[in-house]
Amino acid sequence: MTAILSVAHLRVRFDDYLALDDVSISVAPGASFGLVGESGSGKSTLLRAVAGLAPVDAGEITVAGETMQGGRRSRDFYHKVQMVFQDPYGSLHPRQTVDRALLEPLAIHGFTDTDARIRRALDEVGLGPSFRFRYPHQMSGGQRQRIAIARALILEPEILLLDEPTSALDASVQAEVLNLLEQVRGERGLTFVMVSHDLGVVTHMCERLAVMQGGRIVEEVAAADLARGVVTTDYTRHLMVASKGFVRPETV
Amino acid sequence: MTLLTVENLKVHYPTRTGLVEAVRGVSFTLGRERLGIVGESGSGKSQTGRAIMGLTPPSALITADRLDYAGIDLLRASARQRRSLRGGRIAMVLQDPKYSLDPVMTIGKQIVETLRTHARVPGDEARRRALEMLEAVQIRDPERVYDLYPHEVSGGMGQRVMIAMMLIAGPEMLIADEPTSALDVTVQLEVLSILDRLVRDRGMGLIFISHDLRLVSSFCDRVLVMYAGRVVEEIAAGDLAHAKHPYTRGLIDCVPKLGEDRHPLPVLDRKPEWAQ
């Protein structure tokens, strides 16, 4: 198995703060890999480091056979790797229409059949052509996140980096967006790397996942094993208990 | 004993494009119990809490057949009377301590300010009670935290400070609007267990507003499910598995759970008649 994305002994430092310490992951083509942890565990930083958005101190990032040099990424890299952010309110330009937001990546990468691609992208995320000339404030949170996904998919990337793509959404809308993501992954054979604090969401979406704490990976486990409770560290067990909801002490 | 009676509460906002009906006839009563209000964004759950608290903007039109708190008609009460209730006998915890605490005032000062707004307490006793309250919300080093500013503490600690501030005047009713949504799952449970213990020990009535049906049902005695400004179902938290309304069922089903293999996830098929 050759990995499409591999990270080896990665270290990220913000001044005196070590955000990532000796982190290694390897993701096979077409796989879906999850990163779970609490705030400050470094899960988002790992994703951002892959995308070239965090300062890499030491270690190596290899994507589709190409080893990254520092924070610089080639245009070709962004053609292969796209990212969806947590907050659809913050990641879309408030003064740009959907059309403009979707045109931007196409223009950067020199596509000419823009009109057909924009229409197809909107269709693919389940929004009709009527959404094409809307502004972000004229859409709901779920619709905005669909646009953010359309923007990432329009370049036909191989890898999608998902940073808490549904945590700003209602539970019912979350289900719709998760279904959409699974569907496009099935159709296009995409590779997912997904960050979430919700164990239920990650085990639903990913086959393998890494549990992170304090900038390190404490455990890497198959989702099926985690669901059966076959985990080795107390921290993972702690997260599993916490995800089940509140237990009143007197009932013990 | 009934603390709060709400009958046919309506909150409407006149806008340029017509009347926005945020809450459309909500009725319930609250005793010394834990009541959950669940719904999606825009279902009117927060607007209900704010209307009871008297925090709705002046442009809103609030009507109700009855809005009665311990014998006080909240709709007829003067602004002064409502101010004395707010923070005194009725308290509210908001979602994000980053925005609900004053960033330029130390934590201790903020708690003391709340106490002295509602009770005549000399300075040194106010300080002592604030420290006691910080200890009650399980802050390990109250003396140190007392002199810190809100940005110097974590989200979980900020929310405990918020709870301490809200409970220091000894309210009989607490409205918690998504008190743990901004927190990590593990911290969420710590904050909930503190809230749970304080509510139980002091015999308060609690209204717990959240979009997380699973969390609410594990924490509350009774749950109101809201959709489009109305209560579509009222159910004992333990009976949630036997919920009847398709909306409630949909809310339970659409959440991915550990150890379940459902692809694709069932999604809510919203029916227009639910909003009738």
Structural domains in chain B, CATH included, are 4-89+173-275 (3.40.50.300), 100-168 (no CATH)
Helix axes A141-153, A171-188, angle to 10 degrees: 20
Q: Which pLDDT score, from 0 to 100, does residue A251 have?
A: 47
Interchain proximity A182–B186, CB inside 8 Å: no
Judge whether residue A109 has pLDDT over 60: yes
pLDDT averaged over chain A? 90
Distance CA B39, CA A217 (A): 36
For the whole model, what pTM was predicted?
0.86
Cα dihedral across residues A234, A235, A238, A239: positive or negative: negative
pLDDT digits (tens, 9 = 90+) for A57-66: 999 999 988 8
Which of B127-136, B177-186, B241-250 has maximum average pLDDT?
A: B127-136
Average pLDDT of span B174-183: 88
Q: Which of A39, A172, A180 to mutate to test the interface with B (most CBs of B within 10 A)?
A: A172
- Which pairs count as long-range contacts for B29-32, CB under 8 Å and 24+ apart, including other chains? B29/B2, B29/B4, B29/B5, B30/B2, B30/B3, B30/B4, B30/B173, B30/B205, B30/B207, B31/B1, B31/B2, B31/B3, B31/B205, B32/B1, B32/B3, B32/B203, B32/B204, B32/B205
pLDDT averaged over chain B? 90
Distance from CA of A5 to the nearest CA of B (A): 26
> Which residues in chain A are contacts of B218 at CB distance < 8 A?
245-247
Average pLDDT of span B50-72: 93
Q: Does A209 touch chain B (CB under 8 A)?
A: no
> Which residues in chain A are contacts of B196 at CB distance < 8 A?
246, 248
- Would the ipTM clear 0.90, i.e. be above it? no
Distance from CA of B213 to the nearest CA of A (A): 9
Q: Which pLDDT score, from 0 to 100, does residue B183 have?
A: 81
Average pLDDT of span B28-38: 94
User: How many CB atoms neighbour CB B84 within 10 A?
Assistant: 14
Average pLDDT of span B48-60: 92
Interchain proximity B267–A172, CB inside 8 Å: yes
What lies within 8 Å, CB to CB, of A63 at 6+ separation is A4, A5, A50, A77, A80, A81, A159
> Which residues in chain B are contacts of A204 at CB distance < 8 A?
256, 260, 262-263, 265
% of chain B with per-residue pLDDT over 90: 59
Q: Which pLDDT score, from 0 to 100, does residue A1 have?
A: 59
Q: Does A38 touch chain B (CB under 8 A)?
A: yes
Second-level CATH architecture of A5-244? 3-Layer(aba) Sandwich (3.40)
Judge whether residue B276 has pLDDT over 80: no
